[in-house]
Each structure stands twice: as structure tokens, then as C-alpha cells.
Amino acid sequence: MAAMLRRPVFFMTGLYLGGNRYQIHFEQLADFSITSRAERDAAIAAAQQHYVERLNHFCRLAPYNWFNFFDFWQKKS
């Protein structure tokens, strides 16, 4: 959608540091503002790869921030 609308895409995460403390990160993943239609597929693939790399970085930086201990699939009574 961002590529079609020629807009930037940002990555945002908040790492829990304990107590009431978080470290917030915003990074631009891609800027499709000057991407031509012919370059769109390659630019989208590059943005996806950049997203994977950044997510990998932050998961390794704070691995315990990424667990959900809530029983998400619990049956309703």
C-alpha cells in the first residue's frame, strides 16, 4: 500500500526495560516516494528484508520482550 501511495514506511518497537521503563525505537524502513512502478517489486522485497533484519536485531537484543504468556488459544467457557 505504501509503495502504491508513494509513502515512507517506519518500524517502531518499544523494549520493556523493567518497572515503568521502556526504550522506544523508530526507524524508517523504506521510502517509496520516488520509487517507479517498474522498481516497486524490488523495493518492496528490500523493505521486507530490512524489516526482518531489524526485527531479528531487536529480538536478539531483548529476547524476553517477545513472549506472550497469556493463554491466547484458551477455550471460552
pLDDT in tens, 33-67: 999 999 999 999 999 999 999 999 999 999 888 77
The boundaries of the domain holding residue 56 are: 2-66
Residue 60 falls within a domain, yes or no?
Answer: yes
Total tally of structural domains belonging to the chain: 1
Residue 54 falls within a domain, yes or no?
Answer: yes
Residue 19 falls within a domain, yes or no?
Answer: yes
* pTM (2 d.p.): 0.79
Residue 43 falls within a domain, yes or no?
Answer: yes
Only one residue has cell 526495560, namely 17
Residue 77 falls within a domain, yes or no?
Answer: no
Q: Considering the chain, what is the average pLDDT of its residues? A: 91
Residue 71 falls within a domain, yes or no?
Answer: no
Whether residue 15 is predicted with pLDDT greater than 70 in this model: the reply is yes
Q: Does 69 or 12 have the greater pLDDT score? A: 12
